[in-house]
Amino acid sequence: MTINSTKYRIPKNLYNNIDRPSVGLIVLNTDFTFERDFVRLYNEHQPEFDFYFNRIHFANPMTPDSLAAIEGDLTQVSNEILPGYDLDLVVFNCTSSSSILGDDAVKLAIQKSKPSAKVLTTSQAVVGDIKLKGINKISVLTPYNNDVSTLLADYLQRQGLEILSAMHMDMDDDRDVAMVIPGDIIAAAKLAIDDKADALFISCTALRSTEIIPEIERAIGKPVFTSNQSTFEQILHILTKRIN
């Protein structure tokens, strides 16, 4: 028996049905940690936005040149997040690369494919989050080599933060960063913090520091900021301001 299917007409203005902000998240293809941290924070806070990941190519080792080379793929990777659809916010999740490239260069590359989207970088989010908490004097702990760490420190100081001390773990492979155990992160934090600093910033989206922030804060007696925690909190801050 032949069945005749009747047609149900869907309205043409489907985009009008989207009532939640959309966030695109660009993550290095060598990063084990960011997505796990982000999903955990999202589930804890239950915010009113939707998010979409895409990975961008990175070739180890972590050097100023290799981290700067990521810029060439930002436009295409952004475009591949819901192609043809405008996002409210696109976030480039790499502290070291974004601090080397600069916020304006990242924004320019991403807005070539997502022209109406607001753009946020990890390094920009860290500065915004620290300043929002009323903190200026910090110590910095990174997993990078000295060259990359120095460029990050230069960026933070250009943004108005005062760095009282800095320590780096001298790691070359982004994938290895995710394998540093909590005990070593805490031990390094205790050595990295300056007594006169108001807080400690622990850099890198791949370092598993966000999940142990309370333990680090107990160990050093100071507030702790991490790349992934600050990024999540700045996304909430930006989207709340846009909605209001």
**109 shares its domain with 27:** yes
Interval 179-227: pLDDT, tens? 999 999 999 999 999 999 999 999 999 999 999 999 999 999 999 999 9
What is the 3 state secondary structure string of 34-47?
A: HHHHHHHHHHHHCC
The CA distance from 219 to 101, in Å, is 34
The CA distance from 68 to 62, in Å, is 10
**120 shares its domain with 145:** no
Residue 64 contacts residue 92 (beta carbons within 8 Å)? no
Identify the band that residue 116 occupies on the pLDDT scale cut at 50, 70 and 90.
very high
**87 shares its domain with 180:** no
**30 shares its domain with 85:** yes
Q: Is residue 145 part of a domain?
A: yes
Cα distances from 74 to residues 21, 24, 93, 106, in angstroms, run 21, 12, 11, 8
**204 shares its domain with 159:** yes
Q: Is residue 3 part of a domain?
A: no
Q: Is residue 98 part of a domain?
A: yes
Name the token pair of 166.
């800095």
Give yes or no for residue 162 having a pLDDT over 60.
yes
Q: Is residue 5 part of a domain?
A: no
> What stretch of H or E contains 231?
helix 227-243
Distance of CA 127 to the CA centre of its chain: 12
Identify the band that residue 19 occupies on the pLDDT scale cut at 50, 70 and 90.
confident
What is the pLDDT, as a whole number, of residue 243? 56
Domain count, the chain: 2
Report, as an integer, the average pLDDT of 83-92.
95
Q: Is residue 216 part of a domain?
A: yes
The CA distance from 80 to 24, in Å, is 10
Q: Is residue 74 part of a domain?
A: yes
Name the token pair of 198.
């108001």
Q: What is the CATH number of the domain that holds 201?
A: 3.40.50.12500
**24 shares its domain with 113:** yes
**158 shares its domain with 118:** no
**188 shares its domain with 237:** no
Distance of CA 44 to the CA centre of its chain: 18
Give the domain extent around 220.
127-226
The CA distance from 197 to 135, in Å, is 9
